[in-house]
Amino acid sequence: MDTAAGQSLYPLHRCKTLHLVRHAQGFHNVEGEKNFEAYKSYDLFDANLTPLGWKQVDNLRQHVKASGLSKRIELVIVSPLLRTMQTAVGVFGGQPYTDGINVPPLMNDNVGDSGRPAISSLNAPPFIAVELCREHLGVHPCDKRRNITDYRHMFPAIDFSLIENDEDILWKPDIREKNEEVAARGLKFLEWLWTRKEKEIAVVTHSGFLFHSLSAFGNDCHPNVKNEICTHFANCELRSMVIIDRGMIGSDESSTNYPGKVPDGLDLPSDVADQKHPENGQAN
């Protein structure tokens, strides 16, 4: 039962820790701030990060390392767009790639005219591209992705196997996804997360996707907690949250629970013993 203070308990194995990240500043953010109609320009197709965006990536990477978070993350899930993948590999990737390391780089040299050296996958968690966590679909060319074939050349160590179509068949030039449709897709994405065995996961995605997906949560919390969950993310902002499986979606057993009483023996709780044998008085 929840206490009057609003506290509650939940089994650990029915929880996952999510480190949610909005991508760093892209060129579409700069142009859209000047004129909202710029979002409809094909000049901003699959916009990449600005130089300031890359500085934001570097700052977040330093924080992730200093906080110890980089050692705990088991999986990075990323929206398959240039700005999110650049952000993801820049923050959570391995050390700069050098010759002689026999692993594919997470990002090749100068992807998106970034001027950045290749980023190694050495000692980095797995990266998986997932379409369910893309931004609002349709109308805005900045939210249209390239062919997966192109991305595989840019980001060799990102796993694109969950994306069925090489071309972007989800984005429509004349139909913009409704907010409630984005929210429904977000809930479907969170349900999909329960099919993963990993318990601590980073998700690098988009402002609109995060806002509309998370707005479904926190209604039973203190208003300040609701605000922490649902407020729009700044560029390259990270928020860590715990999601719980109330509906038994996941099937994993606990890796830390221990059944006790092994081997079998007498272990009647003292309060139960008192009820059964009141003549014995208080148990020690």
Q: Please state whether beta strands 238-244 and 15-22 pair in parallel, antiparallel, or not at all (unpaired).
A: antiparallel
Helix axes 51-66, 82-92, angle to 10 degrees: 40
Count other C-beta atoms under 10 Å from residue 242's C-beta. 10
Selected catalytic residue, list 19, 135, 136, 177: 135
d(CA 45, CA 33): 16
Count other C-beta atoms under 10 Å from residue 170's C-beta. 14
Tell me the β-bridge partners of 277.
Answer: none
Segment (H or E) for 154? helix 148-154
Selected catalytic residue, list 19, 23, 206, 212: 23
**Cis bond upstream, residue 104 (ω within 30):** no
Nearest to 114 by CA among 2, 27, 16, 227: 27
Q: Which residues contact 147 (CB under 8 A, 6 or more apart)?
A: 166, 167, 168
Question: Is 200 a known active-site residue?
Answer: no
Tokens of residue 256, six digits = 């830390």
Question: Is 180 a known active-site residue?
Answer: no
Residue 113 amino acid letter: D
Which positions are annotated as active-site residues? 23, 135
